[in-house]
Amino acid sequence: MNRFSYIRTRRLAAGLLLFGLLIPGLLAQEKFRRTPPYPDPLPALVLPAVNSEYLGNGLRVVTISRANNPVFNLMVLIQVGESDSPPELAGLATVTAQVLPRGTATVSPGEVEERLALLGIEYSVEVQADYTIFSFIFLAENLEPALELISLFFVEPAFPALELSAVKREYYYQLLRRHQDPETAGYNFFLKRIFSGSGYNPGVLDEELIKNISARDAAQFHQRYMRPNNSTIIFNGQITLAEASRQAAQNFRRWVPRPVERKTVSRLNNRDFDQVCLLDIPGNEAAIITGNLTGSISSPDYFPLLVLNHIMGGTTGSRLFINLREIKGLAFYAFSDLSFFRENGLFWVRAKTAPPAIPETIAGINSIMRSLAEERIEPEELERAKAYLMGNLPLQLQSPENLSQRIGLLDLFQLPPDFWSRYLQNIMPVNSELVREVARKYLAARPLVIIVADASRALDYLKDFDKIDVYNRKGQFQAVFQKGVLRYENR
Amino acid sequence: MNNCFRTKLTLTTRLTILVFVCCLFAWWQTAQAQSFNFNPVSYKLKNGLQVIVVEDPSLPVVTSVLAYGVGSVNDPEGKEGLAYLMQNLMFQGSENIGPLQHLNYIQNVGGELNAATTFDKTFFYETVPSNQLGLVLWLESDRMHFLQVSEATLAREKENLIRKENERYLQEPFSRYFFLIDQILYPDSRYGHPLTGSAQSLRSLTLDDVQKYYRRYYVPNNAVLCLCGDLKLARVRELVSRYFETIPSGEEPGPYPTPEFIPSLSARDQVMVDPLVSSPALQFGVRLENLKPEDLMVLGLMEQVLIQGPTSRLMTRLIKKERLAVFMSGGLEERGPFQSLKIFLLANNQIMAERAKKALAEELNRLKTEMVPDREFLKAKNNYKFNYLNQLTGNNLSRALALADLYLKEGRLPDINRELNRLEKLTPYSILALARRQLREEKYCFLTILPRY
């Protein structure tokens, strides 16, 4: 071997060695890309400190301490809602709440609007069946003048005639539009049917009845139900309880307490509905709403129900969506949901499809519900649902308004103060048996089925149903469809 | 010697005092920023990926925004819609992640995700429990370098986009006029074409177009990764380095294409009849150009005075007082070095639409002739300040998007105190001067859309 070839051989060997050392290194480096990484340990969910006390007039003051945030959320939560409106004036709670921030006894509507804008206050009003929420968001530096203005809405509302008319007009057109949307119309009709005969209005409004509401009705409703002793004011930001109470007392002391008597709500049981309704609304597509009653949010079934709902139809990865849309191509979408009211809860499925696919879509939904009640859920599916619920809660609490609302509603739904901070611990022990147990309890009976479609297009495809009650878009009974024959009846 | 020493000592002392003052100022600035829960840290990887981190331990969640400096302005001529199509293709799978699995991975841990394409940027964002930061970085890094697009996927996505656009037009017939006003304001295909392209341009896109585009723009040196939430910088560095460090940088994508705007006066006041619309509408737009960086805040205040909120001038006059419009929306829109002010309104009939047009022009001209009263100016400032602070401190997503956007635009992090100080110094005259410079009547574009009665 001459010197050159020796050197060459050594270089080659060195090169090969380097190559040999580097390649496995590179391959090892890329190996981590092949599979998802293991998560870091699950962090504890520590919510901001919550403190509360009552003022002399019964107003509950709650503070949620969030340090170092220039944006402040102030929320007034009143335990009154649409279920408290008289049946002949459905919508009274909504209209009253919407008019409150539109002028007071001492500040004209225009000036209120100007002052809200001057202080950079954004607000929203939400009226549900059981509660009303006024949420204000603004810069923390404006807290004092903001509170001074906001308190007037509750202490000395004026219900100006022009503003009341404007609110009624806005709602009238909004409701007309909403009732043309098949899914919204279907859900409202579903709620009405589920609670029919119970004397409880789950928050369904009627555009025709809204027209009849007068300023006097609104003023009386405010006098009777919107009192400090059934209200909570939540200060969410950098403030102490003592300071919040001082400011609340200073501004809300003129808000006079009165005994508030709300109608009692009876607990309704999950039952066999054996009813299919067709709501006749023009359109090319059909919506299906189906569901039944469950226990309330405070019942021990709540956490297994959450898991069950997620497996059934909580997201695009759940059974309804995968089965009905991705695999069978029957529906444009299919999801399930849970809604909770005082004393009651319900699960409901919503799907959108084409009229020819209505029977198969309903059969598909029923089959998924049956399998959940009868078959064992695979551990992987169960754990995935739990991981979603546990991981998603902190995301839901990110917005100050959401956090305030969840804290504020604990009292109304008779939930313990640590309900949200113990949420993860309560989801963790939910097992396959518990889920199947609630599935048997709530999914086994025949659910109420609402089909929303253009009757002239859809009925041809619905001949195989035993009987369908047909209603017009206002929810008035029209006819019975049986064995392919439409028979008009007076009820 | 003594003198010299004294001089030296004096200099040292001076220097020490100066350093001390500087440190004190820096500390004060940091303290101020921290008092807003806002302490961004940024660093760059060797491959050019800019990383911005904001620690906020208030809840165990983390948001990741990966923003690329590419948008519809980069669509080649005749290939309009490529940027938007690319955003959709990024969910169709990469070497280690199956088609649409990105969504499943995020959803399975309770997370949320989305994406958005603008004129010059494309954002991909996820919010997840903070222990899943590794998962997000794994997913994003895989599609940054190992995207897999087949002919079949491309064909399906193109047809999906075309179908969605057709549906959108049928459901919202006014949507096409939003694009039309852009074409009038920016008569240069790169600047004025619709984000979603056209059926023709989308169908002309080939796999080769997509791959070239991806290799050119979806590179670390054209991206900003912003992470906000409950995280620790050391762990972020470790994970970011693991997933992104070995991705090679690409060619520098280069600056925006320079537009050539050919004025088209005949297009500036058009009336169109559309059988699909149910009520008359008016689209207004004006292009604002030759803007200095300091003009942007003044423009924001002008927007507040004119159109933002129920007590703004146009809302008060057109909706409440004169009832010329039943609905109105609008505001500023940025397009590279330009801004445009756009307003859209619905009227009950053609006469009202005509009157609304006149009133709108009058209100714009009033900004040039009258000083905004102090109270109105204060209102605009308060609202601007609220929006600015809420964006940067409100939640992780809004903060991360704002930071990534600013970094891609100006290569810097925001300085809250400096911005607020600048805001404080502005006066009503700032609006008057800018309005006189920018709001020129000959540049106003009106588009009246009438139903077929």
Residue A233, strand partner residues: A61, A76
CA distances from B359 to B135, B318, B349, B433, B438 (A): 54, 7, 15, 21, 19
Average pLDDT, chain B: 90
Structural domain boundaries of chain B? 41-244, 265-451
Q: Is the pLDDT of residue A33 over 50?
A: yes
Residue B346, strand partner residues: B281, B327
Q: Is the pLDDT of residue A77 over 50?
A: yes
How many residues would you count in chain B?
Answer: 453
Q: What is the pLDDT of residue B19?
A: 56
> How far is B263 from B273, CA to CA, in rounded Å?
24
Which of B293, B295, B80 has the alpha carbon at shortest distance from B182? B80
Residue bearing tokens 């409950």 = B230
Q: Are A270 and A292 in contact (CB under 8 A)?
A: yes
Q: What is the pLDDT of residue B263?
A: 63
User: What are the tens digits of pLDDT across the range A98-138?
Assistant: 999 999 999 999 999 999 999 999 999 999 999 999 999 99
Q: Is the pLDDT of residue A466 over 50?
A: yes
Reduce the DSSP state of residue B192 to 3 states and report it.
helix
Chain A residues whose beta carbon lies within 8 Å of the beta carbon of residue B396: 398
Chain A residue at shortest CA distance from B108: A388
One-letter amino acid at B322 equals: E
Q: Is the pLDDT of residue B310 over 80?
A: yes
Q: Tell me the domains of chain A and their CATH numbers.
A: 50-252 (3.30.830.10), 276-488 (3.30.830.10)
CATH fold for domain B41-244 = Cytochrome Bc1 Complex; Chain A, domain 1 (3.30.830)
How many residues would you count in chain A?
Answer: 491
Instruction: Quickly state the pLDDT bin for A236 (edges 50, 70, 90).
Output: very high
> How far is B299 from B288, CA to CA, in rounded Å?
10
> How far is A333 from A325, CA to CA, in rounded Å?
6
Please determine whether the domains at B41-244 and B265-451 fall in the same fold group of CATH. yes
Which of B132, B139, B155 has the alpha carbon at shortest distance from B97? B139
pTM over 0.95: no
Q: What is the pLDDT of residue B23?
A: 52
Rounded to the nearest angstrom, the minimum Cα separation between B9 and chain A is: 42
Q: What is the CATH number of domain B265-451?
A: 3.30.830.10
A-contacting residues in B 343-372 (Cβ below 8 Å): none
Q: Are B344 and B178 in contact (CB under 8 A)?
A: yes
Q: Which helix (H) or strand (E) holds B301?
A: helix B295-306
Q: Is the pLDDT of residue A16 over 90?
A: no
Interface contact A395-B35, CB threshold 8 A: no
Q: Are A265 and A95 in contact (CB under 8 A)?
A: no
Task: Tell me the average pLDDT across B396-417.
Answer: 95
Q: Are A371 and A439 in contact (CB under 8 A)?
A: no
Q: What is the pLDDT of residue B30?
A: 47
Mind spelling out the 3-state secondary structure of chain A? CCHHHHHHHHHHHHHHHHHHHHHHHHHHHHHCCCCCCCCCCCCCCCCCCEEEEECCCCCEEEEEECCCCCEEEEEEEECCCHHHCCHHHCCHHHHHHHHCCCCECCCCHHHHHHHHHHCCCEEEEEECCCCEEEEEEEEHHHHHHHHHHHHHHHHCECCCHHHHHHHHHHHHHHHHHHHHCHHHHHHHHHHHHHCCCCCCCCCCCCHHHHCCCCHHHHHHHHHHHCCHHHEEEEEEECCCHHHHHHHHHHHHCCCCCCCCCCCCCCCCCCCCCCCEEEEECCCCCEEEEEEEEECCCCCCCHHHHHHHHHHHHHCCCCHHHHHHHHHCCCEEEEEEEEEECCCCEEEEEEEEECHHHHHHHHHHHHHHHHHHHHCCCCHHHHHHHHHHHHHHHHHHCCCHHHHHHHHHHHHHCCCCCCCCCCHHHHHCCCCHHHHHHHHHHHHCCCCEEEEEECHHHHHHHHCCCCCEEEECCCCCEEEEEECCEEEECCC
Interface test with B, best of A26, A32, A33 (most B CBs within 10 A): A33
Residues 6+ apart with CB under 8 A from A151: A251, A252, A255
Task: Tell me the average pLDDT across A332-353.
Answer: 96
User: What are the tens digits of pLDDT across the range A237-292?
Assistant: 999 999 999 999 999 999 999 999 988 888 999 999 989 999 999 988 999 999 99
Rounded to the nearest angstrom, the minimum Cα separation between A140 and chain B is: 10
Task: Tell me the average pLDDT across A304-332.
Answer: 95
Q: What is the pLDDT of residue B1?
A: 38
> How far is A470 from A476, CA to CA, in rounded Å?
9
Q: What is the pLDDT of residue B34?
A: 46
Token pair for residue A191? 């709620």
Interface test with B, best of A29, A123, A174, A395 (most B CBs within 10 A): A395
Q: Is the pLDDT of residue A30 over 80?
A: no
Helices B101-108, A379-396: inter-axial angle, 10-degree rounding: 80
Rounded to the nearest angstrom, the minimum Cα separation between A76 and chain B is: 20
> How far is A448 from A271, CA to CA, in rounded Å?
9
- Burial code (b: 16+ CB inside 10 Å, e: under 16) for A189-206 equals bbbebbbeeeebbbbbbb
Rounded to the nearest angstrom, the minimum Cα separation between B399 and chain A is: 13
In chain A, the N- to C-terminal Cα span, in Å, equals 111
Burial (CB count <10 Å: 0-12, 13-18, 19+), residue A260: middle
In chain B, the N- to C-terminal Cα span, in Å, equals 99
Interface test with B, best of A118, A397, A424 (most B CBs within 10 A): A118
Rounded to the nearest angstrom, the minimum Cα separation between B319 and chain A is: 12
Q: Is the pLDDT of residue B2 over 60?
A: no
Helices B151-171, B82-89: inter-axial angle, 10-degree rounding: 120
Instruction: Quickly state the pLDDT bin for A42 (edges 50, 70, 90).
Output: confident
Average pLDDT, chain A: 92
Task: Tell me the average pLDDT across B391-419.
Answer: 94
Q: What is the pLDDT of residue A453?
A: 96
Q: Is the pLDDT of residue A5 over 70?
A: no
Burial (CB count <10 Å: 0-12, 13-18, 19+), residue A371: middle
Interface contact B310-A315, CB threshold 8 A: no
- The 3-state DSSP composition of chain B as helix, strand, coil percent (nearest 5) reads 55, 20, 30
Interface contact B61-A395, CB threshold 8 A: yes
Interface contact B132-A70, CB threshold 8 A: no
Q: Is the pLDDT of residue B6 over 60?
A: no
Q: What is the pLDDT of residue A26?
A: 44
- The alpha carbon of residue A215 and the mean position of all alpha carbons in its chain are separated, in whole angstroms, by 30
In this structure, of A360-364, B25-29, B318-322, the range with the lowest mean pLDDT score is B25-29
Query: Beta strands A448-453 and A286-294: pairing type?
Result: antiparallel
Q: What is the pLDDT of residue B5?
A: 43
Q: Is the pLDDT of residue B9 over 60?
A: no
Q: Is the pLDDT of residue B24 over 70?
A: no
> How far is B277 from B449, CA to CA, in rounded Å?
8
Q: Is the pLDDT of residue A14 over 60?
A: no
In this structure, of B54-58, B180-184, B263-267, B434-438, the range with the lowest mean pLDDT score is B263-267
Residues 6+ apart with CB under 8 A from B328: B307, B314, B315, B318, B319, B343, B344, B345, B346
The dihedral built from the CA positions of residue B198, B201, B205 and B210, taken in this order, carries a sign that is negative
> How far is A459 from A485, CA to CA, in rounded Å?
9
Q: Is the pLDDT of residue A422 over 70?
A: yes
Task: Tell me the average pLDDT across A441-452.
Answer: 95
Token pair for residue A319? 């059974």
Which among A122, A142, A391 has CB closest to B111?
A391
Instruction: Quickly state the pLDDT bin for A13 (edges 50, 70, 90).
Output: low
